[in-house]
Chain A
Amino acid sequence: MTRLVIWTVCPILLWAVHFGVVFALISATCGPRALMTPEILRATVSLVTVFPALGVLALLVAAARRRGRIVADTALAPEASLAATAYWTATISLLAILLNAVPVAVLSSCSG
């Protein structure tokens, strides 16, 4: 059960870190210091999106497999609701991580 709790929290925690990093990168690009160009920003955001997205995807698959095992084994029934929680949290987190990257993907510059 502890593992399921971790699987529930980790994806959305990854989203939080990813959101913070994307916000910081956009601020660094679009602030007065202009620490990077939009092109470098795009490449960096792509890079920092791929890894958490894959991580969350892995958790999503793990949670889905766990759900399948719980359906087959009645002894694990008390964990069923937490397995569903882990699965749906991962799904929502994956969507949210991809959505974080959309502004950088669709806008060519800080002003749009």
Chain B
Amino acid sequence: MTQTANRTPAAYDRAPSGAHDATFEQFWQPPPGLRVLSSVSHRVVGKRFLITGFVFFLIAGVLALLVRTQLIVPENTFLDSETYNQIFTMHGTIMMFLFAIPMLEGFGIYLIPMMVGARDLVFPRIGSFGYFCYLFGGIIVLSSFLFDAAPDSGWFMYVPLTTSAHTPGMSADFWLIGITLAEVASVTAAVEIIAAILCSRAPGMSLSQMPILMWYLLVTAFMIALAFPPLIFGTVILEAERLLGLPFFDPEFGGDPVLWQHLFWLFGHPEVYIIFLPAAGMVATMLPVFVGKPLFGYGFAVAAVVSMGFLSFGLWAHHMFATGLPNMSLTLFSAASTMVAIPTGVQIFCFVATLTQGRPRLTVPMHFILGFLFIFVLGGLTGVMLASVPFNLQAHDSYFVVAHLHYVLIGGFVFPMFGALYYWVPHFTGRMMSETLGKWVFWLMFLGFNLAFFMMHLTGMRGMPRRVATYPEGIGWDRLNMLSSIGAYILAAGIALFIVDFFRHRWVGRPAGRNPWGAATLEWLYPPRSPGYNFRAIPIIHSREPLWDQPELSRGDPAGIDGALRAYPDHRRETIGCDPVSGAPIQILRLPHPTWFPLVFALGLTMIFALTLAGLYPWTMAGAVIALIGLTGWIWEPSDSGVIRQTGVAGLALPVNAVDRRSHLYVGTAGALLISFALYASILFAGLYLWNTRPLAVAQTALPEAMPAIAALAGACATPILAWFARRLAGVSRLVGAALLDLGCALAAIGAAFAVGLALAPVDPWATAFGAVGWALGVFVVLNLAVVVYWALFNALRKLAGAVRPGQTLPDLLLASFVNGTALMVAGAAVLFLVLGRMA
């Protein structure tokens, strides 16, 4: 700890201060009135995600009821086929992209700081920015109904159905553009969750002392960072095919529709685990509370969740068994699909073993946990059936698959989510929801769900295909569909009763009191609703179940508990930053106060997306300018790095925003690079796939120029060297020299970008899909170089404007890391231009 403080090159005592007339409570309060939109507090942003996600859930639920109403009797004319296609497409799209992921993000954003002992997330503005991207993206997708252009090609948007030739209107564009914008929220949340869990835990909370939910969220965040980029790349190139005519998926020009399926399911299968794992983490958090014993096999559960996180990436092609892949590939994916059942089983056994350790209290959340176990295990078993290739080929595209996926997703996410809402709702309202009504909600949902979806197994086994708007009578499907629809209405009644209970409890619900469930984790330290700063002093943690094992935390006024950062000499929002593994404090994190810049940045991005959708391409520049203003205002703030402050714990003094590779900013930069590399890998995958499957078209693709490719390689090598020297000079207080080297780095990046463009000049992206992918790779690395140019110029400007003081080298450390990653990608692209094309 003190080592870090000593390593900080120079300590200043000139950190900008907050309002000195404000009390601690006042400067943590969210701003009043409309200015609440500028709030970046995790409590505000988390609630926004949860409420918006739940509204989308209700919308998608109504769409599901329309589908079930259409199918209640044979030959029904309630909906025409076109509307039916739109309804089921929007149902799936909203549930997967606008409900499930944002809800888990909402829970994560709300709960992480409170459970790890932090006062806020480490990047609160990113959370706020992500929320607005999600909201605006969702509005774009939903607004398609207003323009009579709702997407109708299924939530997976299979090619060639979604190409301009087969879907000529704007419906697919609404989906592709809206969902891509909403995906920004997911990847930003991933970086935020990773950095928050690894870098802001309370003193003493090592990785092995973390609440189990943090492991689930950490693994999920890494999965989001790796799984969403293939989809982002896929949606961008499909939109490019629709708008610009680039032939990525056109077989006539060496493209391949199956490439879309690969990219989509590289995201789509891990997505199921991304949805399920946090929900299972919530179960693992709630279950011990109602059993009164710690989770059985914490280490086993962590091994299971880490293994599932990885293995789930090896299953994507089991959604593609009917596409004509070689049998050997099918067997490989079948084996991996079967393998994932092992860690899943380990995790379920941990839950069952915990249940056997005590006599569970049958509260409402406990009902939902038991419902989860029953339904999810059944869904998992049908999943193992579907992992078998012969059975999968029989059941493919039938209602059996619909039943399976709903058992997994509703059992694996919706039931735990309702349990979690009942469990954590006192945090939002300070009151308890009704136990009696809650049990009615559970039984209506449980019985309704099983009636609706168990029947679908049978309907599927009787041969009913998915996505048909109606069916003839008398072929054995009538009664089963009738029962399924009745079940769906009962399920909906349960959800409606939940809403009634929610509004009812806000007025007449019993006040929750301190730790109403007798929980063990830190979020229950204060009586709900706990104060906006979460912890007046950040407690020192010795146990995984601190409220059970550390009696000093449960005695007396929680605001009086000993801990770190009770004093606030600078009147700024602060929390403790820790070593990612041991949890030892290494720095004081300065957190931002309310700001409009995330909203401005998100509005600018939304303008770019919406104006592209409207075909007003020149106006997208206005959006870009607004986005750039928002971004620049966001990051242009006085640096506090280097100031040393007392923590109030055992005489420990720590630097503010330490220049350290274990710091949250470095971890955040590494997270951003991880996403960037996943995008890069997605492009390489597309190129290699086409190279392998379309050799004739590849042979017809013009070769990139060799000399500019070599120049790009040289530029790629120069940028990290210049960034390294800039960092060294800044470290020895030669700021002007460092600024000049930053400018040199920007120039080298510009040169490398031009060289990439020149190398690709002979390649016609409209001639072959392989050429188009080559250009996609070029554009991607140039975009990364553009970030380097902007960042290097920004760093240089700050140094020249006197906004940086000697020793404040954190921006240089971060830039150097990003430049290293970018240089690696540019060099890789240049080598591929030199080698791969010539291997054709």
Contact = CB atoms under 8 A, between A and B. Distances in A.
Given A78-B209, A110-B326, A13 B299 contact: no
Interface residues of A, number: 48
Contact of B326 (A2, A15, A30, A88): A30
Interface in B329-347: 329, 331-332, 334-336, 338-339, 342-343, 346
A62 B757 CA distance: 50
Interface in B550-590: 581-582
Given A32-B693, A103-B331, A19 B306 contact: no
Contacts of A40: none
B692 A89 contact: no
A15 B311 contact: yes
Contacts of A33: 692, 695
B636 interface: no
A111 B206 CA distance: 50
Given A23-B332, A31-B692, A81 B298 contact: yes
A107 interface: yes
A103 B207 contact: no
A94 B821 CA distance: 31
Count chain A CB atoms within 10 A of each CB in B208, B298, B688, B695 and give the residue with the most.
B208
Given A22-B332, A102-B335, A111-B326, A32 B695 contact: yes
A29 B332 CA distance: 14
A112 B328 contact: yes
B299 A99 contact: no
Nearest to A103: B331
B339 A96 contact: yes
Interface of A: 1-2, 5, 8-9, 12-13, 15-16, 19, 22-24, 26-33, 78-89, 92-93, 95-96, 99-100, 102-104, 106-107, 109-112
Contacts of A24: 688
B65 interface: no
A85 B298 CA distance: 8
B332 A103 contact: yes
B304 interface: yes
A77 B346 CA distance: 23
A85 B299 contact: yes
B17 interface: no
Given A15-B310, A33-B692, A79-B208, A85 B332 contact: no
A87 to B, nearest CB: 8
Nearest to A1: B581
A27 B307 contact: no
Contacts of B327: 107, 110-112
Contacts of B303: 8, 84-89, 92
Contact of B311 (A9, A79, A80, A96): A96
Count chain A CB atoms within 10 A of each CB in B299, B336, B688 and give the residue with the most.
B299
Contacts of B313: 16
Contacts of B114: none
B328 A78 contact: no
Given A26-B329, A30-B326, A33-B695, A1 B346 contact: no
